[in-house]
Structure 1
Amino acid sequence: MQPRNIARIALAIGFLLLIPLVAMQFTKEVVWDLFDFAVAGTLLFGTGLTYEVVASKGGNTAYRVAVGAAVAVVLLLVWTNLAVGLIGSENNPANLMYGGVLAVAISGALAARFRPRGMARTLLATALAQIGVAVLALLIGPHQVASEEAGNIVDILSVNAFFVVLWIGAALLFRRASVMGPAPEPTI
């Protein structure tokens, strides 16, 4: 990876973080402190860096798109879980179960050595883990946590179904990348 790419990532994140900074000047609805900016910057920089490292391993365009989709789903899962929570509010301890979903994705990616076929299988397993979290959340039920923390069944099912579809979509992109084979060498 080239330092120029890291600088581009940092610059893009700087501009993205200007959005809430400017919004805070015009509305009371956006209230971020230094910690919020640090977490957002770290998440965004980590996502961009992960994409650069993994996508630079080579592969075809389908592989790079698949990597982008997978890291975007991870970012979306972490960001929404931190911001508003997927099961009830962000303060609901049941949301910690999504760490298991991320563990499946990360450990599977490492075991697959980021190869397309292995990544497709990993992301299908991650979709199953996401389903498992939804099932556990429904089994735990609203009676186990305060009612305002629990969320309702439709919310739990719909948000988890959304992420299952995203995981499966990324898996299908990796499958396509594995079928297409390596990209031809560019001729100059």
Structure 2
Amino acid sequence: MKTLKQTSILTFAIPALLLAAAFFGNLFIEGFNWSLFDFIIAGILLFGTAFIINLVVSSNKSFSSKLIICGIILIVLILIWMELAVGIFGTPFAGS
């Protein structure tokens, strides 16, 4: 059984690894060109999501409630990421 501290470390390690992968991709892959602003926005989105999920996991709700809430949080993250990446909804939020 994992302790709450181990779960928190794992929750925040995943966004750090994703940002590290994006950083090294930016260095070595030709068509991958993120600016500093892109990394800042990605960090805010990923670590903000990890923080909210960590709050949900440490709450006193049932396992099924935690699973549903975390699923909704991840769906919202994916929709925001897609909107910022390609403007799927065509809002000014994505710069379209």
With the length of structure 2 as denominator, give the TM-score of the two structures.
Answer: 0.77
Shift of 1:86: 1.6
SS of residue paired to 1:9? helix
- The whole-number CA distance in structure 2 between the counterparts of 1:39 and 1:67 is 23
Q: Using the alignment, how far apart are the partners of 2:63 and 2:7 within structure 1?
A: 18
Please state how far the C-alpha of 1:73 moved relative to its aligned partner.
Answer: 1.0
Separation in structure 2 between the aligned mates of residue 39 and residue 6 of structure 1, nearest angstrom: 22
Structure 2, unmatched stretches of 5+, are none
| CA–CA separation in structure 1 for the residues paired with 2:84 and 2:56 | 25
| 1:3 CA displacement | 6.2
Q: What whole-Å deviation, never above 9, does each CA across 1:14-44 have from its counterpart, x for those lacking one?
A: 1111111121233222111211111111111
Percent identity (aligned): 29
TM-superposed deviation, 1:7: 4.0
The residue number in structure 2 matching 1:68 is 70
**Residue 9 (structure 1) aligns with:** 11
Please say if 1:25 is aligned against 2:33. no
TM-score when normalising by structure 1: 0.43
Deviations 1:100-152 (A, max 9, x none): xxxxxxxxxxxxxxxxxxxxxxxxxxxxxxxxxxxxxxxxxxxxxxxxxxxxx
Which position in structure 2 is the counterpart of 1:48?
50
TM-align CA RMSD = 2.2
Greater RCO, CA 8 A, separation 6+: 1
Aligned length: 91
Is 1:91–2:76 an aligned residue pair? no
SS at match of 1:70: helix
The alpha carbon displacement at 1:5 in A equals 4.9
Amino acid at match of 1:71: I
User: Equivalents in 1 of 2:21, 2:73: separation in Å?
Assistant: 22
Structure possessing the higher radius of gyration over alpha carbons: 1
Contact 1:24 1:30 in 2 (8 A): yes
CA-to-aligned-CA distance 1:59-111 (integer Å, 9 cap, x gap):
2221121011010011011111111112348323xxxxxxxxxxxxxxxxxxx
Pairing 1:97-108 to 2, within 5 Å after superposition: none
